């Protein structure tokens, strides 16, 4: 089932811990999440998970500077792309999971070991990708929160 971005954000808010803060925080950062999500081609992507439902990280090294590494998560537009790329189909411990794009972005904010998510935008091709860096996402959200300092400025019809 494909959800539009507003429905995805509302689901995040509805499923947030009822701690008196998280739902308001989600509502406050929703426009930033929505802005990035709308720049991507698909409303949901497949990512690889292990049996414990942890995301599978790939460590990439710079060819000219092997000491420079980054840890990424690949997000695929179709299930066929998952099986074609990497060696995912060879490892029975790794399974694809279809996740709404706003949920991927929201989780990226807090995933310290992850440097970025690489979203493949064209089925069957791995050369058309958009990399969303965790630090860039955090900066965008911080800017958005500074511009809207009070949660009272959040429109009631945000999601």
Q: pLDDT tens digit string along 115-126? A: 999 999 999 888
Q: Does some domain include residue 21?
A: yes
Q: Does some domain include residue 154?
A: no
Q: Does some domain include residue 80?
A: yes
Q: Is the pLDDT of residue 91 over 80?
A: no
Higher pLDDT, 144 or 34: 34
The rounded mean pLDDT for the chain is: 85
DSSP 99: E
What is the predicted pLDDT for the residue at 121? 95
What is the predicted pLDDT for the residue at 11? 93
SS (H, E, C) 19-64: CCCHHHHHHHHHHHHHHHHHHCCCCEEEEEEECCCCECCEEEECCC
Q: Does some domain include residue 25?
A: yes
Q: Does some domain include residue 26?
A: yes
Q: Is the pTM of this model over 0.85?
A: no
Residues 6+ apart with CB under 8 A from 91: none
What is the predicted pLDDT for the residue at 87? 54
Structure tokens at 10: 């509302």
Q: Does some domain include residue 108?
A: yes
Domain boundaries, position 59: 5-149
CATH of the domain at 17: 3.40.1350.90
Q: Does some domain include residue 120?
A: yes
Give me the long-range contacts of 120-124 (CB less than 8 A, separation at least 24): 120/74, 120/75, 120/76, 120/77, 120/81, 120/85, 121/40, 121/41, 121/42, 121/77, 122/41, 122/77, 123/77, 123/78, 123/80, 123/81, 124/80, 124/81, 124/84
Q: Does some domain include residue 159?
A: no
Q: Is the pLDDT of residue 157 over 60?
A: no
Higher pLDDT, 51 or 158: 51
Q: pLDDT tens digit string along 6-45? A: 999 999 999 988 888 888 888 889 999 999 999 999 999 9
CA 111 to chain centre: 10
Residues 6+ apart with CB under 8 A from 139: none
Helix (H) or strand (E) holding 80: helix 79-84
Q: How many domains does the chain have?
A: 1
Scan for tokens 């400025």, then name that residue: 153
């Amino acid at each position: 089932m494909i959800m539009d971005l507003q429905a995805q954000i509302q689901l995040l808010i509805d499923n947030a811990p009822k701690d008196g803060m998280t739902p308001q925080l989600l509502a406050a950062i929703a426009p930033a999440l929505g802005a990035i999500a709308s720049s991507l081609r698909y409303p949901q992507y497949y990512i690889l998970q292990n049996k414990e439902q942890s995301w599978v990280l790939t460590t990439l090294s710079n060819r000219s500077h092997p000491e420079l590494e980054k840890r990424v998560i690949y997000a695929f537009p179709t299930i066929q792309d998952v099986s074609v790329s990497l060696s995912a189909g060879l490892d029975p411990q790794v399974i694809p999971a279809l996740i709404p794009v706003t949920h991927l972005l929201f989780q990226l904010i807090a995933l310290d070991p992850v440097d970025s998510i690489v979203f493949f935008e064209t089925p069957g091709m791995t050369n058309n990708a958009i990399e969303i860096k965790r630090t860039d996402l955090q900066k965008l959200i911080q800017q958005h929160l500074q511009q809207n300092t009070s949660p009272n400025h959040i429109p009631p019809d945000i999601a």
